[in-house]
Amino acid sequence: MNENQLKGYFAFDDSDLNANRNGRLSEKQVKRFKEVDQFAHRFVLGLFLVFLAVTLFLGYRAISEMTSIGLWVGTVIMLLVTGWAFRGVRTDVDNSVEKTEGEVQFVKVERQTGSPTDPSSSRTTVSSYEMRVGGAAFGNANPALIDIMQGDVYTLYYTKTTMQILSVEFVSKGK
């Protein structure tokens, strides 16, 4: 795979690659991650506020009626769900740059859907490809890359928490 094909497929340019080589994100990458983080933060905050409103409403109704055990149970459940949603408001993603280098191997991974304990659930086998490089595994790899990258040595720069590939460098042909 030539350098321009790599840049096109993995959506990076020379400034991204240079920044990643130095262990940091480029300005464009920082901007892109900030936009994604802001959207996710706003979504979770909105979810938290909806859950809080429902919890307060149920709590008010439970206190005013005092006889409905269902309202009390609903209030406690919504209080727990609201606490869970609030935890998501404070979660930060570590977008620090990690590096791995090695021979690229694509592995077909099969997983079962559905619940193994629920007899009414029909289980289906779902397959996808994982790209493995130097001890790191990147899920949901594009099978079109198998013929192009399989067995060759590459350096990959990726984010620590989400394992999102930032940039890729060809090192050498495989054996």
pLDDT in tens, 79-135: 887 777 777 656 667 788 999 999 999 999 998 887 777 777 788 888 889 999 999
Q: How do the domains of the chain map onto residue ranges? A: 32-89, 95-172
The pLDDT of residue 71 is above 90: no
Give me the residue label for tokens 């304990």: 117
Question: For residue 172, what pLDDT band results from cuts at 50, 70 and 90?
Answer: very high
- Give Rg (Cα) of the chain: 23
- CB atoms near residue 36 (< 10 Å): 14
Q: Quickly count helices (H) and strands (E) in the chain.
A: 5, 5
Give the pLDDT confidence score for residue 5 in this predicted structure. 84
Between CA 93 and CA 143 the distance in angstroms is 28
Q: Which fold would CATH assign to domain 95-172?
A: OB fold (Dihydrolipoamide Acetyltransferase, E2P) (2.40.50)
Q: What is the pLDDT of residue 56?
A: 83
* 158 against 45, higher pLDDT: 158
pTM above 0.75, yes or no: no
Token pair 């940091």 is at which residue?
24
HEC sequence for 64-83: HHCCCHHHHHHHHHHHHHHH
Task: Read off the pLDDT of residues 8-50 as tens digits, 9 standing for 90 and up.
Answer: 889 899 999 999 999 999 999 988 888 877 777 788 778 888 8
3-state secondary structure 103-161: EEEEEEEEEECCCCCCCCCCCCEEEEEEEEECCEEEEEECHHHHHHHCCCEEEEEEECC
